[in-house]
Amino acid sequence: MFANYLIGLREGLEASLVVGILVAYLVKSGRRDRLPPIWAGVLTAVALSLAFGAVLTFTSSRMSFEAQEAFGGTLSIVAVCFVTWMIFWMRRTARTLKSELHGRLNAALAMGTMALVLTAFIAVGREGLETALFIWTAVQATGQSTDPVIGAGLGLATAVLLGYLFYRGALKINLAKFFTWTGAALVVVAAGVFSYGVHDLQEAGVLPGLNSIAFDVSDAVPPSSWYGTLLKGTVNFSPASSWFEVTAWLAYMLPVMTVFFLPGRPKSPAPAAPAAPAAPAAPAAPAAPAAPAER
């Protein structure tokens, strides 16, 4: 539940911030009449995200076991790719998100109503589709149909509340630090989802090595225990993991976390302007001839 709460909070806060910035800009600029297209785009994006989740659930339920595992494993890896891109994108643009959205909104206002709908739809729909995909993979990974959805729902509700408080000016936090530390937590979650996706592909026969076990700590961490369930639900920890799963986890976790915490490239100082060449000295005027001495 916690991992999906984090997903819902992170993705929902991004969408809430985007909507809040768009609405605040229109209100402060005296364009309240342009708010309905914004809300139309938001509601359309939410409906599309719910429909996407329903299609994933309906499609997988009509497949054979091997096809379900291959389908789930492939979508797990796709979800990890989307979430990884989102983590780095928000880390890079957290400080400039407001000015970037203002520029897009000005362009949409100039183009008309459908451009406003599309601006809000794209801004919210991206997070919504990513959330639906990641929650679906979490349901497949944990084997539970309620806890992941409840966790994500609580995260989304918290995000909406925080977004409203941001809009009203009652809450101010350092967004760059917030997205940095939640991003690091999501890297750990995504590594577990990636490892589980590999496990699904092994069960489908797409990848080998299903019975080549790297470690088995099921006696110390029973899957049915509360702490086994907690580890499974938060970081997708499996007490019995194959070498392929362990390799996949390390191959994702180590480089992504390292790159994520690398300091930003310092801006190189602007080259000094070359000194203007000194103007040539004016030639000295010829000395006047000395007057002849009087006798």
pLDDT band at 269 (very low <50, low <70, confident <90, very high): very low
Q: What are the sequence ranges of the domains in the chain?
A: 2-260
Residue that has been written with the tokens 């040539």 in this structure = 280
Residue 53 above 70 pLDDT?
yes
**Residue 17, pLDDT score:** 76
Q: Using one digit for the tens of pLDDT, what is the confidence trace for 182-191?
A: 778 778 888 8
Residue 82 above 70 pLDDT?
yes
Residue 295 above 70 pLDDT?
no
Q: Using one digit for the tens of pLDDT, what is the confidence trace for 118-158?
A: 877 877 887 778 778 877 776 776 666 677 778 778 888 88
Buried b (16+ CB within 10 A) or exposed e, 258-295: eebeeeeeeeeeeeeeeeeeeeeeeeeeeeeeeeeeee
**Residue 273, pLDDT score:** 44
Q: What is the model's pTM?
A: 0.62
**Residue 36, pLDDT score:** 86
More confident residue, 45 or 138: 45
